[in-house]
Amino acid sequence: LSVEEDLSKFFNPRSVAVIGASDNPSKLGYDVFKNLREYGGRVYPVNVRREYVQGVKAFKSVLDIPDEVDLAVIVVPREYVAGVMRECGEKGVKAAVIITAGFSEVGEEGARLEREVISIARKYGIRVIGPNCVGIMNTWNNLNATFVTKAKRGYVAFVSQSGALGAAIIYKTIKERVGFSKFISVGNMADVDFADLMRYLANDPETKAIALYVEGVKNGRKFLQAAREVSRVKPVIALKGGRSASGSRAVASHTGSLAGNYRVYEAAFRQSGILVAETIDELLSMARAFTQPLPRGGRVAILTNAGGLGVLLTDEVERRGLRMAKLSEETVGRLREVLLPIASLKNPVDTVAGARGREYRECVKALVKDPNVDILIVACVVPTFASMSRTEHAEGVAEAVKEVKPDKPILAAFLAGHVSEDAKELLESAGIPNYERPEDAASAAKALVTYATYRRAAAGEAASKA
Amino acid sequence: LSVEEDLSKFFNPRSVAVIGASDNPSKLGYDVFKNLREYGGRVYPVNVRREYVQGVKAFKSVLDIPDEVDLAVIVVPREYVAGVMRECGEKGVKAAVIITAGFSEVGEEGARLEREVISIARKYGIRVIGPNCVGIMNTWNNLNATFVTKAKRGYVAFVSQSGALGAAIIYKTIKERVGFSKFISVGNMADVDFADLMRYLANDPETKAIALYVEGVKNGRKFLQAAREVSRVKPVIALKGGRSASGSRAVASHTGSLAGNYRVYEAAFRQSGILVAETIDELLSMARAFTQPLPRGGRVAILTNAGGLGVLLTDEVERRGLRMAKLSEETVGRLREVLLPIASLKNPVDTVAGARGREYRECVKALVKDPNVDILIVACVVPTFASMSRTEHAEGVAEAVKEVKPDKPILAAFLAGHVSEDAKELLESAGIPNYERPEDAASAAKALVTYATYRRAAAGEAASKA
């Protein structure tokens, strides 16, 4: 990348000060400090009135802390934020997350305060995330500098311009066992913005894809330039809020930013290599796909033990402009050996309900080896027959992957509902993203193909320039 | 309705014979008999070789049962099905669910057997569901004549042309706490078909909406005629499998029926009053809405405590052609009294995160009373602040509904994830369907408006003919 952003003090601080840490459960400073106590690094509460906060020795000011402070998390009332920032500056703090609200999002007086805070930050060289945000998380070192529940660990970095929506997505993903590498609630983006974060995350080894919830962008040129550069390294996927006329007006009263014309945004996004999602589930489904290798083309094979599921998946795959692969003679021959005579050997391959883990393993092996197949979607209605294990199909897939080590993407669409969390866990821990809705698996496949195509084109462009 | 179907022996049998009931967990007859033992009515195992099945006295033939038999559930190998059906006929059985597979779906030999079975059924006046199906459920009397887990109780009848997909949907809805009134896996539809079931379900008091998963229809005229008549009484919602070219070919090898051209299907569906869904989640979301009164128009109000959620909901509402309501002066005045100055009083109404149960209650009351509002969507990111109860917003909504008894629909979009199953339960038990994805709530609102419009037009047509 031409410009690397060093935001590591935000995500890997040696020490953290929580300014406004509280013993009172009705204050955000209570939740923030409680969450941060789980962090491996050193965490200091700062509270002007208390000697101890949640049983930990507190300091009246960040200046009193007998240690360097890498990150300040600020949750004091807005009228104290400027003063606190000055003290942080004197202390040599270089990164501040300002959770406190009541700044540019509420009118002119707040906007004036925000400008003051940022000019202090500039003076002392402090980078600022916020104000008016939920905070940040790094699941890989248990840093939860927010007032909400910690996300599950995973490979998607999620950057949200809506704090509460971001929190809701975390609650949802915890339930669905979907993980994130980083979570960043950007708030008013008075300093650190989408562009800075994309550049930082491009170099983050735990982040395989960057998912954005965008309401409005202040500096469009900077945003698109960063997206263009970062997209050459790893995928950026965006969901735009305020696509409709009334939605766009709602954005103006929500984040105070201009949502702008969606068609313009969409075109600019796509030109910069950003993958566009239409819903939260699509955003997450697409981003989760990138633990897989990129496909060489767009020909999809589907394996299923339930005809209806194969039909719906095929519909969703073709609706997105992907093609169903024509299986090679050799593959069909191998499937014929493995499966019952009533199985359907055309793509989608329907093993029928009797197929077991062994058949799944052999079919997956045959299908990923087929030169006509670029992506495999392994679907399954997890059986509840007393005679079958509820994980054997997932095990079969994991075994096949271990054996073949395929260099093409495999996505799972195991519809397990309440009957087998284990089957899903097993797939995910074998590195295969699982989707419980056919449309999500198809969106994931489409994202892989779109991004692979963009990467090839970008590489070709770079080569022809050289 | 011009023709009522009496299929009550299927869904409210006084006594059931399970022919092929088994002690061997590797047989479907094991699961089917085990599931049926929970039924309130009398259930008899029939097994040619065993004196007892699962500890219950068994009979060698249905003819040996010293009781009338209303319903026979048949799970013997296919070569015995015709013989068993003859015995059922002699016994006076009038309803049979044939779970056994290997009939017209597997080729000419199977098709010949199926014709034989049906000609026996006709001779004795037995109605048949199946063959090649998962079975049927009536959640309201604990009848589970299938080999899969029992669905949760609810108000949607779900008729599926794919058995395994139907099972997967049941597993999914159990996890998501969504309920069904009846579940019917229609299999090959050799006798009882979609049309018969729609007519029966039209008169079922526990069914508020009929959801269909359709791959292909044999008698299009009969299907559409039934849909037209039933749609005047209650909503029919359909998801068509085999919409794409390859999906349509997959249908042919799956159920052996012709998927046909989707545009033709879709137009015919809509003309007959059928609401068309594009995904499983949309199908269920739409169907679940009909516990609510029908709206008088299409103007939607949204209440939210999270700006981003309001924005996404607004986008989804407008994308479906619904309009955002312009709130009356009186409503805005009332909201101003109730909410903080930084709240947004325009539609979507954003209370901001500090709002509590009381504010939700007062806002809901004001919004449903507004003559400019036809539908209210109450959204909420369930808060995790130590100072707030995780159910107070849901309680506020339930209290408002109890107080006002609104004659307009209220839908909830509480994004609770793992943090509050209780909030969702509370809404559902107050009769308010809750959706965890903005697009599902919007689809539900759209379904209510589309169906209300159809009903008014159909009533007008009827009046003008009279």
Global ipTM:
0.94
- Give percent of chain A above pLDDT 70: 97
For residues A297 and A286, what is the distance between their CA atoms, to the nearest angstrom? Answer: 17
Cα–Cα distance for residue pair A416/B172, rounded to 1 Å? 7
Strand, coil or helix: A382: coil
Residue A254 to residue B28, Cβ atoms within 8 A: no
A245–B280 C-beta distance less than 8 A: no
Hey, is the C-beta of A238 within 8 angstroms of any chain B C-beta?
A: no
Whether B3 shows a pLDDT value over 60: the answer reads no
Residues in chain A, how many?
466
Q: How many residues does chain B have?
A: 466
* Contact across the interface for B418 and A175, Cβ inside 8 Å: yes
Q: What is the pTM of this model?
A: 0.95
The amino acid present at A127, given as its one-letter code, is R
CB A210 within 8 A of CB A277: no
CB A73, CB A16: distance < 8 Å: yes
Contact flag A162-B281 (C-beta cutoff 8 Å): no
CB-based contact B303:B359 (threshold 8 Å): no
Mean pLDDT of all residues in A417-445: 94
Chain A positions in Cβ-Cβ contact with residue B149 (cut-off 8 Å): 384, 418-419
Residues in chain B closer than 8 A to A23 (CB atoms): none
Q: What is the pLDDT of residue B5?
A: 67
Give per-residue pLDDT as tens, B374-422. Answer: 999 999 999 888 788 999 999 999 999 999 999 999 999 999 888 888 9
- Report the residue of chain B nearest A173, measured CA to CA: B417
| A–B interface: beta-carbon pairs under 8 A | 248
**Which B-chain residues 28-47 have CB contacts (< 8 A) with chain A?**
28, 30-31
- Residue carrying the six token digits 């890989």: A140
User: Hey, are the CB atoms on A314 and B244 less than 8 Å from each other?
Assistant: yes
Residue B225 has pLDDT above 60, yes or no: yes
Answer whether A106 touches B (CB < 8 Å).
Answer: yes
Phi, psi of B428 (to 5 degrees): -65, -40
Q: Minimal CA–CA distance to A289: which of A159, A450, A97?
A: A450
Q: Is B419–A149 a contact, with Cβ atoms under 8 angstroms apart?
A: yes
Report pLDDT for B256: 64
- Measured between CA atoms, the residue of chain B closest to residue A169 is B417
- In chain B, residues with a C-beta closer than 8 Å to the C-beta of A165 are 306-309, 312, 381, 415
What angle (nearest 5°) sits at the alpha carbon of residue B112, between those of residues B111 and B118?
90
- Measured CA to CA, the distance from residue A20 to residue A32 in angstroms comes to 9
Q: Is B258 an 8 Å CB contact of chain A?
A: no
Mean pLDDT across chain B = 94
What lies within 8 Å, CB to CB, of A41 at 6+ separation is A13, A14, A15, A16, A70, A141, A143
H-type helices in B292-382, by residue range?
A: 307-319, 329-338, 357-369
Cβ partners under 8 Å of residue A447, min gap 6: A235, A237, A275, A285, A286, A287, A289, A290
Judged by a CB distance cut-off of 8 A, whether residue A228 touches chain B is no
pLDDT at B420: 86
| Residue written as token pair 């994830």 | B417
Q: What is the pLDDT of residue B38?
A: 93
Binding-face residues of B in 126-185 toward A, CB within 8 A: 147-149, 160-168, 170-175
Q: Label residue A262 by pLDDT band (50, 70, 90).
A: confident
Give the Cα separation of B330 and B315 in Å (integer): 26
DSSP H helices in B160-306: 163-176, 194-202, 220-231, 245-254, 262-271, 280-288
Which residues of chain A have a CB within 8 Å of the CB of B309? Answer: 162, 164-165, 168
Is the backbone of residue B118 left (phi > 0), alpha (psi -120 to 50) or beta?
A: alpha
Find chain A residues with C-beta within 8 A of B26's C-beta.
385-387
Which residues 6+ apart lie within 8 Å of A425 measured at CB? A177
Res A258: pLDDT: 64
Residue A253: is its pLDDT beyond 90?
A: no
Residue B258 has pLDDT above 80, yes or no: no
CA distance B19 to chain A (A): 18
Name which of B255, B318, B381 is nearest A167 (Cβ-Cβ). B381
The answer to whether the peptide bond before residue B77 is cis (omega within 30 degrees of 0) is no
Q: Which of B167, B171, B419 comes nearest A171 by C-beta?
A: B419
With CB atoms and an 8 Å threshold, state whether A385 touches B243: no
Sheet holding A236-240, edge to edge: A143-146, A135-138, A179-185, A152-160, A209-214, A236-240, A275-277
Q: How far is A463 from chain B (nearest CA, A)?
A: 38
B391: closest CA of chain A, how far (Å): 15
DSSP letter for A161, please: S
- The answer to whether B409 and B292 are in contact (CB under 8 A) is yes
Distances (CA, A) of B97 to A346, A460, B156, B160, B185: 31, 61, 21, 14, 10
Nearest to B306 among A25, A165, A172 (CB): A165
Q: So what's the pLDDT on residue B278?
A: 96
Q: Which residues of A touch B106 (CB under 8 A)?
A: 342
Task: List the structure tokens of B283.
Answer: 């199908």
**Cβ of A31 and B385 within 8 Å?**
yes
User: Is A308 close to B160, i.e. CB distance below 8 A?
Assistant: yes
Tokens of B466: 């009279």
pLDDT of residue B345: 94
Q: Give residues with Cβ within 8 angstroms of A441, minimum separation 6.
A: A285, A313, A316, A377, A379, A411, A412, A413, A435
Under a CB-based contact definition with an 8 Å cutoff, are residues A10 and A136 in contact? Answer: yes
A-chain residue closest to B166, CA distance: A308
pLDDT recorded at residue B2: 42
Q: Do B417 and A171 touch (CB under 8 A)?
A: yes
DSSP conformation class of B47: -
Q: Which residue of A lies nearest to B350 if distances are taken between CA atoms?
A: A254
The answer, yes or no, to whether residue A465 has pLDDT greater than 80, is no
Nearest to residue A234, comparing CAs of A181, A267, A198, A268? A198
Whether the per-residue pLDDT at B4 is higher than 60: the answer is no
Mean pLDDT of chain A: 94
Among partner residues A243, A308, A348, which is closest to B165 by beta-carbon distance?
A: A308
What sign does the dihedral A418-A421-A423-A428 (CA atoms) show? positive
B54: CB partners within 8 A, 6+ apart: B21, B23, B30, B33, B34, B37, B45
pLDDT at residue B289 greater than cutoff 50: yes
- B279 contact residues in A (CB cutoff 8 A): 312, 437-439
Cβ <8 Å between A164 and B381? yes
Which segments within B107-235 are labelled E, that is strand? 127-129, 135-138, 143-146, 152-160, 179-185, 209-214
